[in-house]
Amino acid sequence: MEKRSIAAHKEFNLKSFFFQWEWMLVLMLIIINIVNASLSPYYLNFRSLIDATMTFLDKAFIVLPMAFVIILGDIDISVASTVALSSVVMAVSYNNLGLPMELAVIICLVVGTICGLINGLLITKFKELSAVIVTLSTMIIYRGIAYIILEDQASGKFPSWFSFFGWGYVGGIPFILIAFAVFAVIFSMLLHKTTFGRRVYAIGSNITASRFSGVQVDKIKVIIFTMTGFMSAVTALFLTSRMGSTRPNVATGYELDVIAMVVLGGVSTTGGKGRIIGTILSIFVIGLLRYGLGLKNVPAQALLVIIGLLLIFAVMIPNIKINTAKVRKLHKTEA
């Protein structure tokens, strides 16, 4: 009887392991690579695939903290505007104010961090305002300030070394890929291996119980939104470097891409569930999908439809699993 119980337990653990959402994302990656390779003979080229990461990894830096935000049960739709404002202030600091580029880069990071801090403070101090309302407001404000500063003009002519962020290599590997890997490890360790990460999950699962348990909910929220602002500024650095100039309308639509990647990565929009590995896989699912279809000049509108269908699939499957589990439990109870 005991052996049978142990065998059943092992079988359950094996099923639980292989039925995780991340394996579905791995399957999507395999299918995408097969389809792209059949569409274009130029796709399965290691050098080209590595270089392709330069075109989509800039927004991936925001995906990492956004996973924390959504696990909390909140959302931040001001990230793209934070990218624009940080980029514009950096460009103006260098080109108009004559500051050294190194200092302008620091100012860029500071601006993004302050934007995130403002979001966090507004959300925690005015609890009657949801994160959606606050970040929708700051999305408009930050983008508006960028337009006030630069109007509808472009600003560039950065020093040659600045292009290294977007186009540089270290040992044949794009610098942006290395930087993303470092941040991915840091955020993964923070979420899955620390007390801070456990508290993030607890808040997302039950914010009231977390408060009564002594968790400093407001402090954690402020830290996470500030972190999101900082990573938006990091995205601004890489994006501006890659483009070689900036305008107030840069990164338009990034907030939707970032949220889509997080949700596709298996992070629950109701909070309390999700892992960094899923969001990392979803970044490459969407990024390589765009790159491969771009080789065949597939219209952007068709790509949006495909991503939309993937999101519906990502949200639908967990709900089906939950409902199936409930039905089975009900049948067992009746039996």
CATH number of the structural domain spanning residue 245 = 1.10.3470
Residue with the bigger pLDDT between 181 and 40: it is 181
Residue 327 has pLDDT above 60, yes or no: no
Please, are residues 53 and 174 in contact by the beta-carbon 8 Å criterion?
Answer: yes
Specify the higher pLDDT residue, 280 or 325: 280
How many structural domains are present in the chain? 1
What pLDDT is attached to residue 296?
80
Query: What is the pLDDT, as a whole number, of residue 47?
Result: 87
Contact 158, 101 (CB under 8 A): yes
CA–CA separation, 75 and 93 (whole Å): 30
326 inside domain: no
Give CA–CA dist 43/74, Å, rounded.
Answer: 38
Residue 155 lies in a domain: yes
pLDDT > 70? residue 9 = no
Q: Which amino acid is at 153?
A: Q
Residue 50: exposed, middle, or buried by beta-carbon count in 10 A (0-12, 13-18, 19+)?
A: middle
Query: Can you state the percent helix, strand and coil of the chain, rounding each to 5?
Result: 75, 0, 20
How far is the C-alpha of 311 from the C-alpha of 209, rounded, in Å? Answer: 31
3-state secondary structure at position 246: strand
Q: Model confidence over 187-200: pLDDT tens digits? A: 999 999 999 999 99
Whether residue 246 lies inside any domain: the answer is yes
* Position 132 in a domain: yes
To 10 degrees, the CA torsion angle through 292, 260, 192, 113?
110
Query: Residue 32 domain-assigned?
Result: no
Beta bridge partners of 169: 174
Higher pLDDT, 9 or 16: 16
Q: pLDDT tens, 192-244?
A: 999 999 999 999 999 999 999 999 999 999 999 999 999 999 999 999 999 99
Residue 330's pLDDT band, with cuts at 50, 70 and 90, is low
Strand stretches in the chain, DSSP E = 155-156, 169-170, 173-174, 245-246
Q: pTM higher than 0.85, yes or no?
A: yes
**pLDDT tier for residue 321 given thresholds of 50, 70 and 90:** low
- Domain of residue 220 covers 42-319
Q: Encode pLDDT of 12-62 as tens digits.
A: 455 555 568 888 899 989 998 998 888 888 888 888 889 999 999 999 999
